[in-house]
Every structure is written in structure tokens, then in C-alpha cells.
Amino acid sequence: MPQLTSTYLKEHLQSLHNTIENQSFLLALSGGADSMVLADLFLKAGISFEAAHVNYHLRGEDSNLDQQIVEDFCKEHNIILHTYDVSEKDNKPENSIELWAREIRYHFFFRLLEEQQLDFIVMGHHLNDQLETFIINLSKASGITGLSGIPENNNKILRPFLHITKVDIYKFAEENGVSFREDHTNQSKDYLRNQIRHDISPEMEKTNPHFWENFDKSISFLNQAKNFIEEQLQKILDDIIISETNDELILDKEKLASQSDFVRYEILKKYGFTNPVEQQKIFEADSGSRFKGNTLNLFIHRDQLIITPRNISEEETEQEIILIPDEPISIPEKMLLSENKLNLKPYWEIDLQKVVLPLKLRKAKSGDFFHPKGMKGKKLVSKFFKDEKISILARQKVWLLSDSEENVVGIINYRQDGRFLPENNNPKIYLYL
């Protein structure tokens, strides 16, 4: 195992980011041994930094004493300290306290990175944390990514202690007179991580005198395997991608379907579709089907999978815009409904006696049909889209003109419904597109 020294810290930071020269760091200081030893080593290595502390006020006076030890340290060494006091506005939940606290601190840390123009957050996670995370992820069947553990360098977060055991951190603190406070809630077994820490990790450590060294090597091998697999997956994905823009990714459905279950799962997981049952449905679904992810939508269009942002979502699909005569609109399209014939083109003429006002703009619904101008008979709007070769993505942007009884008066910028064309001397209303 590596020896915990300022030289090790400096060299390891260098290995994580090529160079630490001219880089600025924000250290997350909780007041515990891990973070206070990290701060002490930064000082010994001559690396300047700012510090951040979150007081959750979950442990009464103990929380304030944690903050005090961090404040005293920073004051003694002239370190800029940023603190965040959790209050009622942070809406503490009854459950999932750990997740809630994690979201608060990371939001605070990343806000400081931007505001203070700093480069990296540095945290004191160590090898024992790595083992606990490994076991938790093992119990969740999280795959090789989860089993690879906590990353050392990810999303502007550096964790230089991941090869160091908790025992070595305590030993360094004792030998170098580093002050810290122990969080007594760590002794509680109310949380899964604490149960692993007190009941499982010690037993695993007894199995082999070189357990920690071997576990550290195993995590390294898993990370190498993960990196190799990700490289191969990217090569496969590059072959499957038909086109890619900021608004749309198109995959070859047949090529993806021909891959193994593992490859299909990993590629769709990249876009937020992680449920194996839902994934199977994607490959069995008919053209026109849609699947909703947290941030993305996936559309089936013939032999293609079209993935788009959720800004084209069901909420927008359900939106309606009432058209008021002589009040122009510019969203979603520039148009004007008027009872007067203006010198503007193009326009639709609509027989006022054939529609039930008010007219409105809306998105297409299942079962919508109309009678396209110049054609005989009715046609499903979905069939019109298909015949006109309007892509799934483009369909989400198309608006229909309908009356208050949901009759489709026309498909904006495509075709008017012939049933509502003026007859004889009936009064007319004009839609200027």
C-alpha cells in the first residue's frame, strides 16, 4: 500500500490530471479525519486551496462543533472558507437523508466552482469507502460500472485517497497532530453503509493479510476492463448511428437488435432506458411507438430509433392555443386569424358556418382524421404523416387547426381539410400563415 505523504499526494494528483500547476482546488472539509488529513497534506505539499463546509444541523451541537474545527483550521492557515447552513428552505425529507444531503453538498460545491472560478473539487474518500460502495453496488446488480467503484477523477472531482485505508489516515492524523472530529452517527447501523462498515468489512479483512492491497488491485483491474468495454461499445455505437445532431440521434434499429443482450442494454442505458422489459418492447414495437425516458424520448420510425430531448414532450403535445380574430401569434408559428381579407399570402379560407368557434391550434391525437383538400374521402392524420414521409421528430412539431369540437380543419403548412372550404356566399374567416 502507498505511504501517505505530501509527496504521494502531489504525485498522485499529478497522475490524475497530468499537471497541477496553475490549477485551483476546492477541498470539501467535513471536520472528520479524512478531509482534515487531506487539508493538512495539501498544506505540507505547498498546494494552495479554498475550502467548503456544509452544516446540515442534523446532530445538534455536534454539527456546530464540526464547523468550528474547520473554521479554526482555515483561520489558522489563512484559507478561504465557504460555508453553507442548511435550513428549512432545503426541505429535509423524512427518508433518504443521505441522498438529500449528498445533493445539497454537491450543488453547493459546483456552484462555488463556477462562482470562484476554481478548477477541481477534492474529496477525502478512501479505500474503505471504495469497498463499501463495491458491496452496495454488488447487492444492486449494477454491472461493471458499479463494481468499478468510486472514480478517482470524474466530473471535476478528484479523490486522491482511494488507494489509502482508513487506518492509515488515522495513523497519519495521530503522528502529525491533525485535529479532527469523529461523527458518532457513523457508529449507528441505521444506514446500509454503516452496517457494511461494522459487520462485513472487518470480516472480509480477516480473510487475507493482504486483503486491502488485493482489493485495491481488483478495483484497478475492473476499471481497466470497464474502460476496454466502453471503447468497444463506442466502436459498435459509431457503426449503429445513422446521424447525430444536437436535437436528434438516429440509430439503426436492426443493427442494434442484432447485438448481444449486453450490448443492447449498455447502449440503450446510455440514453436513460435501463429497464430490460422496456428495452425488449422497444425492439418489438411498431413504427410510430414512443418511449419516455427521464430526459429523452425514443421514437420508433420504421427501422430507426430516433432519440430526442424531452423538450418535445407529452406536455407540449397536449398544449392548445386558442385563436382570437385579429390577434396575431408568433408561437409556435407566425399566423393571424381574421374575418377580413387582407393582402397577405398564403392563407386559408374557412367557411364560418361549417366550424364551431373558437378555432384552436393543437397537436395530433390518436384517431384524428381529415379530408385532405383535393382528395376524395377521409384520411387518418397519422397515415398522412406516413405518406408524406414526415419523420417522427418532425411530426411532434406539426400543429393541427381544429374547431372547438375537435374537427381537424387542416394540418398547418401542409394541407387544409376540404370539408371546411367556403360555399356560396357563406361568411368566411381567413387564416394567414
Residues contributing to the annotated binding site: 30-35
266: left (phi over 0), alpha (psi -120 to 50) or beta: alpha
Q: 39 and 4 in contact (C-beta within 8 Å)?
A: no
* Euclidean distance between CA atoms 287 and 285, whole angstroms: 7
Report H helices in 140-210: 143-147, 166-176, 192-195, 201-205
Sign of the Cα pseudo-torsion (251, 254, 256, 262, in order): positive
Which three cell numbers, joined as nine digits, stand for 431? Answer: 387564416
Write the CB contacts of 431 (distance below 8 Å, at least 6 apart in sequence): 323, 335, 336, 337, 347, 348, 350, 359, 401, 410
Binding site feature residues for ATP: 30-35
DSSP 200: I
- Dihedral in degrees, nearest 10, Cα atoms 109, 36, 126, 87: -40
* Euclidean distance between CA atoms 256 and 11, whole angstroms: 43
